[in-house]
Amino acid sequence: MSDKSLNDYRFFDPHETVRKTAFELYESVRNLPIISPHGHVDARVLAENKPFPDPAELIIIPDHYIYRMLYSQGIPLESLGVPTQDGTVVEKDHRKIWQIFADHFYLFAGTPTGVWLSHEVAEVFGIEEKLESANAMRVYDRIAEKLQTKEFLPRALFERFRLEVLTTTDAPGDTLEYHKTLQKSGMKGRVVPCFRPDPVVNIKSTGWRNAIRDLSRESGVEVKSYKKYIAALEKRREFFKSMGAVSTDQGVESPYAHKLSPIRAEAIFKNALSGKATEKESQEFTANMLMEMARMSVEDGLVMQIHAGAMRNHNVAVFKRFGLDKGGDIPVQTEYTRNMHELLNAFGNNPGFTVVVFTLDESTYSRELAPLAGHYPAMKLGASWWFHDSIQGMTRYRERVLETAGVYNTVGFTDDTRAFLSIPARHDLARRIDSNYLAGQVARHIINDKEAAVIIKDLAYGLAKKSYKL
Amino acid sequence: MSDKSLNDYRFFDPHETVRKTAFELYESVRNLPIISPHGHVDARVLAENKPFPDPAELIIIPDHYIYRMLYSQGIPLESLGVPTQDGTVVEKDHRKIWQIFADHFYLFAGTPTGVWLSHEVAEVFGIEEKLESANAMRVYDRIAEKLQTKEFLPRALFERFRLEVLTTTDAPGDTLEYHKTLQKSGMKGRVVPCFRPDPVVNIKSTGWRNAIRDLSRESGVEVKSYKKYIAALEKRREFFKSMGAVSTDQGVESPYAHKLSPIRAEAIFKNALSGKATEKESQEFTANMLMEMARMSVEDGLVMQIHAGAMRNHNVAVFKRFGLDKGGDIPVQTEYTRNMHELLNAFGNNPGFTVVVFTLDESTYSRELAPLAGHYPAMKLGASWWFHDSIQGMTRYRERVLETAGVYNTVGFTDDTRAFLSIPARHDLARRIDSNYLAGQVARHIINDKEAAVIIKDLAYGLAKKSYKL
Amino acid sequence: MSDKSLNDYRFFDPHETVRKTAFELYESVRNLPIISPHGHVDARVLAENKPFPDPAELIIIPDHYIYRMLYSQGIPLESLGVPTQDGTVVEKDHRKIWQIFADHFYLFAGTPTGVWLSHEVAEVFGIEEKLESANAMRVYDRIAEKLQTKEFLPRALFERFRLEVLTTTDAPGDTLEYHKTLQKSGMKGRVVPCFRPDPVVNIKSTGWRNAIRDLSRESGVEVKSYKKYIAALEKRREFFKSMGAVSTDQGVESPYAHKLSPIRAEAIFKNALSGKATEKESQEFTANMLMEMARMSVEDGLVMQIHAGAMRNHNVAVFKRFGLDKGGDIPVQTEYTRNMHELLNAFGNNPGFTVVVFTLDESTYSRELAPLAGHYPAMKLGASWWFHDSIQGMTRYRERVLETAGVYNTVGFTDDTRAFLSIPARHDLARRIDSNYLAGQVARHIINDKEAAVIIKDLAYGLAKKSYKL
């Protein structure tokens, strides 16, 4: 790419025929509306619709993709203004933070973070120079200035981004007040919640008791037993559905699913309430709740999502000082064939049920996930996730999944982002990679151009809309 | 590919030089005879040499590659005429079944099944239009008509396909009567049996007792003890050999091999006879039988094959209604370095012994299998198998295996198919992919064109012939 | 490649633009000095600076890359002159050995060994014909003749190879006498030792007692207890450092690290001294020594290297007759996220500490290693190692690692070779593959040509120099 702008043909194969076809396919979907069926943008941002803060607070401080790379090169998180939980003072001068970032922007060469940031700077802010030490303050000022204009208010960007649906992720005890505000706001696009029970499922996590308290309050069911707990969850799912929710999501280290007897479930729940539950009981409880959530999805029609395979908070010192989601979640080997056996046997033959599975273990793409999704009517494969939501990562996903699962047992692209401004960058990248992948298939006469023209629209838009019942 | 025909350059790299070299290499092997050293075509079909039934019964109803994909999209197997074991009525109108298939043929875009089917329709039946809803009945009629001609009788096709050797897969208690018929028939090509002891090895399977009964009857050894059991197997191997067999095959979930003491083996066998064997004993017994089969191969010279890594009948409901091999066999993580340690130490240094290993876990290609095959004289790597017998799958296999194992520790292509009509399609695809792989090596000056010209012939024909002693 | 010479554009993508850029990048680093920060060349060779022996003794007999491939095809190691430990007579006629090698040189088509050998023959010896049966003796004579000239003395080649730093690998009890000789020799390049404690860490290995005896002698500390053992190791590290060492290295089957209590460590050490230690205790002790070596590195600044994932001496018969490192070391599944948790939590946040991790399990590249290195300041990723130090292997490494870890959490190229003459071939290949990888990124507009020009220099030279503090 030249120093000054984004090349139109970026990320496409250099072979002329492939590049040309890729570009045509991309052009046919470039401006399609965006369905973002799973992510972590805060509904409050859109509900309040206040100007975004300064560039550092918008782009660097909340984004673990960015500061984990800087941290890996010895730059303290404190110097990047990442807020602490233990009172340690952090850098307050956001210009200084931005300068550090610009000084080290070369670290992101060839990374998806680098690609997304370049897109944001050029396409969202219209700044045609590559960030570097020398222009850091100039770029900062230009972004800061734009953020104060009404064209850069969250809802204005929402429209400009052609967002048709944006899904947030919310705890069972969440009031969804900002979603209510948004529904009354007359805004064109949809912002829908997603039911994420993790805070009330992870019985050993520090916030569990508070999460149960919130669940009781919001459900109107006093959660004093496992039975009441299930009843409260069902009520909240009903409420989420009434607020537009179409899906749930569970983040689990292992996708092991196993139904406990009511007596055993009750006993573990009692132990959790009295603070005596063990690590093993917590794992059993999670396995049971995968079964319960699947059962509820069969009943209420919410699409079930499973994000498996991250060991959370690997870096204990970073976790203690900075809290959750600070770049220290590291993937582990993950097993699906045996672990999901009980769940798929109980519910997987039901074509009305949908369970979308995501992984961080690429060795499972062709070995386990594609064969499972290529057989069970209920199972679909989520997009290449997190570390694999990258140029090579998305390409590997297509290469390993599509031959066995086919296109139509996948669910299109999911950005899964906290960074609102990166949404168009991520979808644009995915649309480019998919266009390039299909163009390669056309050039090799594996599919023809008519087939490619249909498939690219499904990958970019149709599959997400259909799979998530939007 | 255009709607009407198969492109001559299909599956080749679009780069002109690579494509040209690939095509030349392919042309040099395109018409070589086919050695099919392992597969599941029924000898009876060729022995009886009756016209094939209608298109649905020939192509859809017996092919789990096809109906598992349709099933994954919510189409009931009953509506596809897949026969049931529990008396459930299934669709009898084969035109309806064919129409469903045509309506959903788009699901196979980019899949190997799609590629094979397109080849079958175009090359075997000479039908130059792509199957779709609108032409479904016309295509059905044209295929049905051809199937009634003498050019489409099984043996006529066998010759037309240039089949030099076709290997079937047969139980120890099989009489091989159809092989006898074929040997007397004066047919040009060879149809040879392969000794598959699984029915008598899997002591917990429902059919075990019947399989032992058949083994006793055919061997003339009353199998009342482990010792007799081994004697009976040895007799049957001798018989298979006399009938032209050159190989054995075992399908195992894990390739763990471990010799039991005669006392322990006898004890487990007794438990099996009295129906008391446990799951763990069954695993021990399988591990022991890998050792025993290897020992017998060292003695009688039959090439040993191991197909490892599938969890069979994952979908219990489908298994109960429809039986074995209905698309519900799902790969699991597989380990070879430790599991095959005892077997390779006992027999692996013997250059007269050949054990061909297949996997469904691609992560083992470069990590375990290529290093093992690149060291032990006896070990060879089977072709990319099942879900990996695809364009990308075969390419990944070449990329991960050849640098460490070299070409000559692999055994060429194995189609492993039940679908007789797909045999030429599968070999043609493999020859194309290998040609393309080698052309890429030539274009990168890794090998020269003379080397490529030799290697492609070995991959397409020579290695299978030599490795299987044909 | 033509029969007669190496093509200038070898190993580059055939697409003209990519090839051109790759060649330009390669040209910019082709003649940079070589930093070889980890390997197994014997310092004695350079200290004595005697002519190399004949071609077979130089190239075939000591190189397990070569003879394991010949062995896998049924050629006895004895016929290749590989020395035995049990008195078995081996081939003494080195011309015969060379002829066997030439007769089977086709086995190496497409393997890295083949690529390195072709480079050696053409570039080091200036022989412009491809080795084959017919020219075997002529090539032998020409190489033999050159080896007698002063231009082919080890130190002359060292200079000609532009070696700036060559690291050897040495036991704690090694006197480093040849390093002393070299330091006094006035030689331009540096030859530095690397501290490899394996002989004194593997308490179940046959040579352990002798290694402890050497450690006592050289450290001047009588190693009668675990405490003394640690003190002796610290003294030897100090000595190695004084001799120019910048790094340590541990070869472990599993990277599991766990600190034992002093009492437990002492107890295991006592058991080892009295020959009673168990296999499990040996594993505990290794895990503890990973922690101890990391602690020492934090204190003395030596870069810590971990080579994990090989099951040593898989082939017991070959091991018994021929000893260690004879091609029978086979990779196993390896886990880093959990196994290195304790080590990284104890020391990984220290930016002054460097731990370089190598793997033989490619499935960990994107799943575990890149995410860990992309977060912990201390952790860096070693180059693609051993079976993966190949054209496709290095490419896969770049594709799976760089998007998540970035360029600057890797350490450049490591040849890790015993074969002195293959050093330039290996670095040349790595420089070509990296140039080609970056050219592909430029052609796809992922990075620009200025970025590529900087990165290639870092990959070829800068990162090794910086990471190993050279």
Q: Range(s) for CATH 1.10.2020.10 in chain C?
A: 51-152
- pLDDT, residue A4, reads 53
* Cα C250 to Cα C256: distance, rounded to the nearest angstrom: 12
**pLDDT mean across residues, chain A:** 97
State the pLDDT confidence band at A2, using cuts at 50, 70 and 90: very low
Residue C132 phi, psi (nearest 5): -155, 175
> Is there a contact between B341 and C108 if contact means CB atoms under 8 Å apart?
no
Q: What are C356's strand-pairing partners?
A: C305, C380
> Is there a contact between C110 and B367 if contact means CB atoms under 8 Å apart?
no
Q: Kindly state whether B313 is in contact with chain A, defined as any CB-CB distance less than 8 angstroms.
A: no
Stated length of chain B:
470
Tokens representing B28? 């040099």
**Could you give the percent of chain A with pLDDT greater than 90?**
97
* Of the candidates C219, C278, C282, the residue with the CA atom closest to the CA atom of residue C256: C282
Neighbours of chain A (3+ CB pairs under 8 A): B, C
Q: How far is A409 from chain B (nearest CA, A)?
A: 7
Stretch B328-343: mean pLDDT: 97
Q: How is residue C390 annotated by DSSP? A: S
Residues 107-136 of B with CB under 8 A from C: none
**pLDDT mean across residues, chain C:** 97
* Cα B114 to Cα B1: distance, rounded to the nearest angstrom: 12
Q: Is the pLDDT of residue A79 over 70?
A: yes
- Fold of the CATH domain C16-50+153-467: TIM Barrel (3.20.20)
Q: What are A331's strand-pairing partners?
A: A310
Q: Helix or strand or coil: residue B161?
A: coil
**Could you give the percent of chain B with pLDDT greater than 70?**
99
Q: Kindly state whether A15 is in contact with chain C, defined as any CB-CB distance less than 8 angstroms.
A: yes
C-alpha separations of C265 from C216, C228, C248, C288 in Å: 18, 12, 21, 8
- pLDDT, residue C415, reads 97
CATH architecture of the domain with residue range A51-152:
Orthogonal Bundle (1.10)
- Mutate which of C17, C365, C366 to test chain A, going by most A C-beta atoms within 10 A? C366
- pLDDT, residue C327, reads 80
**Could you give the percent of chain C with pLDDT greater than 70?**
99
Q: What does the pLDDT look like over A323-364, one tens digit per residue?
A: 998 889 999 999 999 999 999 999 999 989 999 999 999 999
- Mutate which of B71, B77, B330 to test chain A, going by most A C-beta atoms within 10 A? B330
CA angle C392, B463, B443 (to 5 degrees): 35
Q: Kindly state whether C17 is in contact with chain B, defined as any CB-CB distance less than 8 angstroms.
A: no
State the pLDDT confidence band at C315, using cuts at 50, 70 and 90: very high
Q: What are A358's strand-pairing partners?
A: A307
Stretch C152-170: mean pLDDT: 98
- Mutate which of B12, B18, B337, B375 to test chain C, going by most C C-beta atoms within 10 A? B375
> A199-220 as b/e, with b when 16 or more CB fall inside 10 Å?
bbbbbebeebeebbebbbebbe
CB count, 10 Å around CB of C352? 11
* Cα A189 to Cα A181: distance, rounded to the nearest angstrom: 13
Q: What does the pLDDT look like over B213-263, one tens digit per residue?
A: 999 999 999 999 999 999 999 999 999 999 999 999 999 999 999 999 999
Q: Are the CB atoms for B274 and B268 separated by under 8 Å?
A: no
Q: Kindly state whether C393 is in contact with chain B, defined as any CB-CB distance less than 8 angstroms.
A: yes
Q: What are C14's strand-pairing partners?
A: none
pTM of the model: 0.98
Do the strands C310-311 and C330-331 form a parallel or antiparallel pair, or are they unpaired? antiparallel
Residues 282-311 of A with CB under 8 A from C: 311
Q: How far is A109 from chain C (nearest CA, A)?
A: 6
- Mutate which of C446, C454, C457, C458 to test chain A, going by most A C-beta atoms within 10 A? C446
Stated length of chain C:
470
User: Looking at domain B16-50+154-467, which of 3.20.20.140, 3.20.20.70, 3.90.930.60, 3.40.630.10 is its CATH number?
Assistant: 3.20.20.140
Q: What does the pLDDT look like over B182-191, one tens digit per residue?
A: 999 999 899 9
Stretch C428-457: mean pLDDT: 98
Q: What does the pLDDT look like over C105-122, one tens digit per residue?
A: 999 999 999 999 999 999
> Is there a contact between B10 and A399 if contact means CB atoms under 8 Å apart?
no
Tokens representing B396? 């990944």
Q: How far is A231 from chain C (nearest CA, A)?
A: 37
Q: Is the pLDDT of residue A246 over 70?
A: yes
> Is there a contact between C314 and B404 if contact means CB atoms under 8 Å apart?
no
Neighbours of chain C (3+ CB pairs under 8 A): A, B
Q: What does the pLDDT look like over A20-70, one tens digit per residue?
A: 999 999 999 999 999 999 999 999 999 999 999 999 999 999 999 999 999
Q: Is the pLDDT of residue C4 over 70?
A: no
Nearest CA in chain C to A106: C451
Which residues in chain B have their CB less than 8 angstroms from residue C2's CB?
448
* Of the candidates C438, C452, C456, C380, the residue with the CA atom closest to the CA atom of residue C13: C438
Q: Range(s) for CATH 3.20.20.140 in chain C?
A: 16-50+153-467
Residue A431 corresponds to which amino acid? Answer: R
Nearest CA in chain A to B8: A445
Closest by Cβ to C403, choosing from A1, A110, A311? A110
* Of the candidates B317, B312, B331, B324, the residue with the CA atom closest to the CA atom of residue A347: B317
- pLDDT, residue A3, reads 46
Nearest CA in chain B to C64: B375
- pLDDT, residue B4, reads 53
Which residues in chain C have their CB less than 8 angstroms from residue B351's CB?
74
Q: Is the pLDDT of residue A5 over 90?
A: no
> Is there a contact between A406 and B314 if contact means CB atoms under 8 Å apart?
no
- pLDDT, residue B1, reads 38
ipTM for the predicted complex comes to 0.97
> Is there a contact between A406 and B115 if contact means CB atoms under 8 Å apart?
no
Q: Helix or strand or coil: residue A163?
A: strand
Q: How far is B117 from chain A (nearest CA, A)?
A: 12
In sequence order, the 6+-apart residues with CB closer than 8 A to the CB of B114 are B105, B108
> Is there a contact between C447 and A1 if contact means CB atoms under 8 Å apart?
yes
Q: How is residue A304 annotated by DSSP? A: E
User: In whole angstroms, how large is the CA radius of gyration of chain B?
Assistant: 22
Q: What does the pLDDT look like over A267-314, one tens digit per residue?
A: 999 999 999 999 999 999 999 999 999 999 999 999 999 999 999 999
Q: What does the pLDDT look like over C243-277, one tens digit per residue?
A: 999 999 999 999 999 999 999 999 999 999 999 99
Which residues in chain C have their CB less than 8 angstroms from residue A5's CB?
none
Q: Kindly state whether B376 is in contact with chain C, defined as any CB-CB distance less than 8 angstroms.
A: yes
* Cα B348 to Cα C186: distance, rounded to the nearest angstrom: 51
- pLDDT, residue A327, reads 80
Q: How far is C72 from chain A (nearest CA, A)?
A: 28
